[in-house]
Amino acid sequence: MPIAAMDNSVVPMEPREFKLFRTLVHERTGIWLRDGKQIMLASRLSRRLRHHRLTNFADYYSYVQNIQDNGEELRELINCVTTNKTSFFREPHHFDFLANTVVPEIQSAVLRGGPRSIRIWSAASSTGEEAYSIVITVLEALQANQGARSQLPPSTGTAKTSLPRLSFSPGSWKIEVIASDIDTKVLATAQQAVYGSDSLESVALPLIKKYFLRGKDDMQGRVRVKQEVTRFAQFKRINLMDAKWPLEGLFDVIFFRNALIYFNQDTQDIFLRRMVRYLKPRGYLFLGNAEHIPWLHGILEPLNQTMYRLRDAEQ
């Protein structure tokens, strides 16, 4: 008998069914669901069974494998499986380093004839807070060097490089933040750039006033990221398991934070070795606080607080 459409109960998942879905998810996304994740997976996928009025996971697995819908149901399944936890300026030491080390290094290169260009990839961007935090950090760092007072929190330890003033205007620098995720629903949220007011609890008030609009009437309790920030962020769906990633050019920094924990080490190694090919010479990779990659220290020089720098080719 079909499940009632509004029933929120969790459909039981048999061990053999869990293994089938675990293999499917791993093959299509690289995500590895460890033993013990069976109840979590059943809870998240039960909504898809209710949607299709199916009574068991064996039938749903067969449905996913056989439906001719250009992969739409598989994308819905993946959306259910992915975990999307993020916030503005999460793990702030990375943004401090970006503002006080990376941007000044690029500015120094400009003084030697380099391009006025900053390219950053947020490789597991979720609902967009990380990408917009990156843009705000870059804008503030560039403005600070032309004499304007930065609204970023004080440095947590990295001294800001003293540079001759470089002119900054929206058209004088090419700022590009590519933000990607496999989950189409979180990408839609990111592109809307609208968040609950409580999401800004840890953001400095001057930054809120400068880069966010508070909602009124039916938007009460919501904030929107201003267009002067969103214009520099481009969101796109990227499945890291795909043979070709829709990316062009190299990046000064890649943020790939709090995502490695969802992959086994073999998959981590594959993804990271591909990613470093997209770094500019001496470019940076930022990982999450609990993520460490000692087996890649020959390629990536460990700095501190899960920040890495691409070593010179001859090394």
Encode pLDDT of 93-109 as tens digits: 999 999 999 999 999 99
Encode pLDDT of 211-229 as tens digits: 999 988 888 899 999 999 9
- Torsion from C-alpha of 40, 286, 189, 71, nearest 10 degrees: -60
* Residue position matching structure tokens 């004499």: 147
Q: Annotated catalytic, 75?
A: no
Encode pLDDT of 138-173 as tens digits: 999 999 866 545 566 554 444 444 555 555 665 689
Is pTM, for the whole model, over 0.95? no
- Given the residues 44, 222, 224, 311, select the one marked as catalytic: 44
User: Coil, strand or helix: which one is 72?
Assistant: helix
- Torsion from C-alpha of 210, 212, 216, 219, nearest 10 degrees: 180
Q: Which residues contact 182 (CB under 8 A, 6 or more apart)?
A: 29, 78, 82, 237, 238, 239, 240
The 8-class DSSP code of residue 284 comes to E
- Given the residues 48, 96, 119, 181, select the one marked as catalytic: 181
Q: Annotated catalytic, 44?
A: yes
- Torsion from C-alpha of 275, 281, 287, 291, nearest 10 degrees: 80
Residue 157, pLDDT score: 43
Provide the mean pLDDT of the chain: 90
Give me 118's structure tokens: 């900053």
Q: Radius of gyration of the chain from Cα atoms?
A: 22
Tell me how far apart the alpha carbons of residues 163 and 53 are, in angstroms, rounded to a whole number: 64
